[in-house]
Structure formats: C-alpha cells, structure tokens
Amino acid sequence: MNDSRVIYLDILRIVATYSVIVLHTSADVIHANSVPQWLAWQIANVFDSFSRFGVPIFFMISGALLLGGNGDLNYKKVLRKNVPRLLTAYIFWSMFYGMTRSDSLSSFWMNTFSHRYHLWFLPSLIGVYLVAPVLKLAVEKKEVFNYLLALTFAFAILAPTLQSIPEAKYVFGYFDRVSNRMWHYGVFYFLLGHWLDISVFNRKSLVLFALITISSGTAIAILTSSASLKAGHFIGTYYAYNHFFVALSAIAVFVLCKHIFSPASKLYSFIADKEQIIKTIVWMSNLTFGIYLMHVYILDAIFPLVSPMASANPSLIVAVIPLLSFIIFIIGLDVTALLKKAKFIARYIV
C-alpha cells in the first residue's frame, strides 16, 4: 500500500460522486412530478435532501490535498497542470453536450455556451484553484487561516442562509450582497477541507456526526417540502450549497468517513492488509472525474425508459432512484476506464 495515499479521501470521492448521481436522478423525478403533493415527488425530495453533500465534499477534498503538507503550492503548477486539465475538460464536455442536444449549428453554439447544468462545477473549481496559492500562504499562519475560514463561513454560508429566512431577508440583505460580490462558498469548503483533514476527532464524536448527518438531511427535506407545498411548486432554497444545513451535512459526512477509515480504526486495518481492496478503491477514485462529467448524458438516456413505470407506481421510486444511480455509476466507471487508455483523454478529458 502507498503510504502517501489518503484512503479516506479516495472513499469520500467515490461516495460524493455517487451522491451527485442520486441527487440528479432525484431531481429528474422532482421535475417530472412537479406537484409537491405527489408521493413520487416527496420520496425524491428525501433522496435529494440527503445527497446534497456531494459537491461541497469535492471542494473539501481538493482543499485537503492542495493545502496540506509542507510543500509550496506554486502558482505556476496551478496554471500549468490543474487549470488546463479542468479548462480542457470543460470545453470538451460543453461541446459534447451541445452537440448531443442540438439539431442546428446555431443551437449547438447556444447549448455549448450555456453548458449542461452539472458543468458549472468546473469553472467554479478553476476559480478556487487560481486563489489556492494565496490560501496556501494563509495556512502557514494559523491565526490568518482561522480568520479567513471564519470570514468565508460568515459571508459565503451564514449570510445567504439568513437571507433565505423571510423575516430576516431585509435585515441581512446587505450582507448577502457583500457575500455575492466577494465570496464564493467553494473557497469556504476548500479551506474547510484542510481544517477537517488536520483536525482530530475522538471516538465519541462518531455518534454526534451520524446524528448531524441524519438531522441535517431531514431538515432540508422538511423545509423544502413545506415551502414547496405552500407555494404549490418546487422551491429549491434549502438545496443550495451555500445553505447552512447543506454545509452541516457535508461536514458530518466528511468527518464520519475520516473517522471510520482513519489509520487507528479496525476497518482501516482490515482493508490495509487487503492489497486488492486498496487497488480497487484507488482505481475507482481515479475514475470519478470522468463519471461525474458523463453521468448526466447516461441519465438523460436511461431516465425516460424508467420514468413511465415509476409514475404508474410511485412507491417504486424508493428502489428506482438508488438502483438507477448505481447503474449509471457503473456504466460511467466502465466507459471512463476505457477512455483512460488514451493518454491525452486520460490527462485532459476524463
């Protein structure tokens, strides 16, 4: 086993990728059943609410990897390695989805520049990577880092959350405008990933964070259902990645995974002795970027086939969402593994 490999981050990446697929599968059910009173809508809302942690954890994993260690995070490395890969993948997949959804040259360019909904993550991550060398300098001074972490939480998470409360909207409106102009939640999650990675949590905290995972997902589901029922249509305020409960969910899942697969745990000791298990985890982790990029195309192709069956029997949604998400994950895994055989594609596309 490679001692430099942080296995819990690999497992987190796999879990987060699957959760994003569950999220988008659930979202398709929600939008296909636009009336919140429908059973299928409510079931999908629960799945969606409990899978919101995926994208924040992607940012957190990047922060844990790039801000950790004693080495310098050189801006030249970011500009030569990280940014070109993300930018090339963004351009390629934007054009790919633009091509698959267009019937003319004009619609191709329109669909390419508007990109598919999940691709927003790539330019957002590029933006975080561009400021990463500066954030790395803050890590070297604990007081500065803690101040920056608190500041990004206040403006990128707390202010938008307070702004979502009708009674507080006008009171906190100014802070929300400041947060929109100055801070992006990706920076907060990036810093948070490093902080959680270097922090130590005792065994008793495992139960606490398990309860936080359940309670935060439940809160998102109840608040979304209540607001949507009141409005008569879907209200996605509490799904936002800059909402407090989503942040809480991401923190809890991150800490749970770190704790369960820490070197001191029995489970880690078990898998550490099984070389094939480690190889499989690392192999799957290395393919998650490609799975993320192509999963929406696979979902678009498969969902119309199962949607009529699920609509006819809404209770089937309980099984359809996780099963369909798993099938999409496996297809994406196999296709990405095949594409990785070409060096250029492996380096810049998936």
Question: Is the pLDDT score of 268 beyond 70?
Answer: yes
If one counts every other C-beta atom within 10 angstroms of the C-beta of residue 266, the result is: 7
Given this model, what pLDDT does residue 183 score? 66
Report the chain's mean pLDDT, rounded to a whole number. Answer: 88
Predicted confidence (pLDDT) per residue in 115-144, tens digit = 889 999 999 999 999 999 999 988 888 899
Q: How far is residue 40 from each of residues 125, 224, 269, 315, measured CA to CA in Å?
A: 33, 15, 42, 7
CB proximity list for 4: less than 8 A, separation 6 or greater: none
Predicted confidence (pLDDT) per residue in 154-169, tens digit = 888 888 888 777 665 5
Would you place residue 195 in the very low, low, confident or very high pLDDT band (cuts 50, 70, 90)? Answer: very high
pTM, full prediction: 0.92
262 φψ region: left (φ > 0), alpha (ψ -120 to 50), beta (else)? beta
Given this model, what pLDDT does residue 85 score? 93
Domain ranges (residues) in the chain: 7-348
Would you place residue 177 in the very low, low, confident or very high pLDDT band (cuts 50, 70, 90)? Answer: low
First to last CA, the chain: 25
Better-scored residue on pLDDT, 51 or 113: 51
Alpha-carbon radius of gyration of the chain: 20
Would you place residue 178 in the very low, low, confident or very high pLDDT band (cuts 50, 70, 90)? Answer: low
Better-scored residue on pLDDT, 208 or 36: 208
Predicted confidence (pLDDT) per residue in 310-338, tens digit = 777 888 889 999 999 999 999 999 999 99
Would you place residue 271 in the very low, low, confident or very high pLDDT band (cuts 50, 70, 90)? Answer: confident
Whole-angstrom Cα distance, residue 241 to residue 111? 25
Would you place residue 77 in the very low, low, confident or very high pLDDT band (cuts 50, 70, 90)? Answer: confident
Whole-angstrom Cα distance, residue 204 to residue 212? 13
Given this model, what pLDDT does residue 298 score? 97
User: CA nearest 155: which of 166, 143, 165, 147?
Assistant: 147
CB proximity list for 177: less than 8 A, separation 6 or greater: none
Give all strands (DSSP E) within the chain, no chain letters. none
Q: Which two tokens stand for residue 306?
A: 């199962």
Q: Which two tokens stand for residue 328?
A: 């999409």
Given this model, what pLDDT does residue 132 score? 93
Predicted confidence (pLDDT) per residue in 2-29, tens digit = 556 889 999 999 999 999 999 999 999 8
Predicted confidence (pLDDT) per residue in 225-248, tens digit = 999 999 988 999 999 999 999 999
Would you place residue 53 in the very low, low, confident or very high pLDDT band (cuts 50, 70, 90)? Answer: very high
Better-scored residue on pLDDT, 265 or 48: 48
205: buried, middle or exposed (CB in 10 Å: 19+, 13-18, 0-12)?
A: middle
